Amino acid sequence: MGSRRDVPQPAPGPGGGAAPTVVGVDACPTGWVAVTLRAGAFAGAETGSGLAELVSRVPDAAVVAVDMPLGLLETGLRQADTLAVSMMAPHRSRVFPVPPREVWKEEDYAAANESCRRITGRGMSRQTWGLAVKLREANACRDGGDYRLHEVHPEVSFAAMNDSQPVAWSKKSWNGQAVRRGLLVAEGIALPDDLGPAGRVPTDDLLDAAAAAWSAHRIVRRTARSLPDPPELTDAELPVAIWY
């Protein structure tokens, strides 16, 4: 994959030439759910309790797009989140600001909220703190050397599919899920009615994983965009950006 600075725009790797394999992953109540695309079309969906183990089931994946913040700054808020919030207007609450690294080292919400207020001047929502376990897991995977991992935000991806307009309906609603599924179909990603065991996962998580896979395919084809452009970098020179 080249140097760490090369991570944002990899050439097609083991997924192969004209028909690369990519994976989109979203967190779900039982762990993680993944949607695999080959040559941009649906090729499978499955779940797993651990991210690294789940991704290992698709060894030929050239890119793995994860709906989870990757890359924590030492101070301040990430440009990626600020830009994504602007892109989601008027649905700004769909994007959570990601506090600096030190905040995520705390053991409970009260301590994390106090740390966040001290460092950034603002508190941290309980909903954001709810990401802690999986955020640490995803960052450990990439920091450990799996540079195929790229951060995505499904709502940003769906907006990109929707002529740069956020989907008006909530992803939990019937209308919202119908619109999002239709956007995926228009991009050549048709989720079958029967997904086997993966079909037990909440529908919005599956749709988010599929949107992540759409972004992964764009990354491997070198047509993706990032927020910001170019990405910020961590102290370890890993990119901090939301790809779509």
Residue 47 lies in a domain: yes
Q: State yes or no: pLDDT of 93 exceeds 60.
A: yes
Burial zone of 120 (CB within 10 Å; 0-12 exposed, 13-18 middle, 19+ buried): middle
Residues 6+ apart with CB under 8 A from 235: 74
Q: Are residues 184 and 120 in the same domain?
A: no
Q: State yes or no: pLDDT of 11 exceeds 70.
A: no
209-238: average pLDDT: 97
219-227: average pLDDT: 97
Q: Are residues 220 and 115 in the same domain?
A: no
* Bigger pLDDT: 18 vs 41: 41
Residue 103 lies in a domain: yes
Task: Give backbone dihedrals phi and psi of 234, rounded to 5 degrees, phi first.
Answer: -75, 175
Q: Are residues 34 and 68 in the same domain?
A: yes
Q: Are residues 215 and 145 in the same domain?
A: yes
User: For position 176, what pLDDT does the model report?
Assistant: 98
Parallel, antiparallel, or unpaired: how do β-strands 41-48 and 31-38 relate?
A: antiparallel
198-224: average pLDDT: 98
Q: Are residues 151 and 234 in the same domain?
A: yes
Residue 35 lies in a domain: yes
Q: Are residues 8 and 122 in the same domain?
A: no
Which tens digit of pLDDT belongs to each residue from 44-84? 999 999 999 999 999 999 999 999 999 999 998 899 999 99
Residues 6+ apart with CB under 8 A from 152: 24, 65, 66, 67, 211, 212, 215, 216, 242, 243, 244
Q: Are residues 174 and 161 in the same domain?
A: yes
Residue 214 lies in a domain: yes
What CATH number is given to the structural domain containing 54? 3.30.420
Looking at the structure of the chain, the number of domains it has is: 2
Q: Are residues 165 and 217 in the same domain?
A: yes
User: For position 18, what pLDDT does the model report?
Assistant: 53
Q: Are residues 119 and 197 in the same domain?
A: no
Residues 6+ apart with CB under 8 A from 84: 95, 153, 155, 156, 227, 242
User: For position 19, what pLDDT does the model report?
Assistant: 79
Share of the chain above pLDDT 90, in %: 91
Share of the chain above pLDDT 70, in %: 93
Identify the domain boundary among 130, 155, 180.
130
Q: Are residues 113 and 198 in the same domain?
A: no
Q: State yes or no: pLDDT of 6 exceeds 90.
A: no
Q: Are residues 116 and 145 in the same domain?
A: no
Residue 88 lies in a domain: no
Q: State yes or no: pLDDT of 15 exceeds 50.
A: no
Per-chain mean pLDDT for the chain: 93
Q: State yes or no: pLDDT of 181 exceeds 70.
A: yes
91-111: average pLDDT: 95
Q: Are residues 52 and 10 in the same domain?
A: yes
Q: Which domain holds residue 201?
A: 4-72+135-243
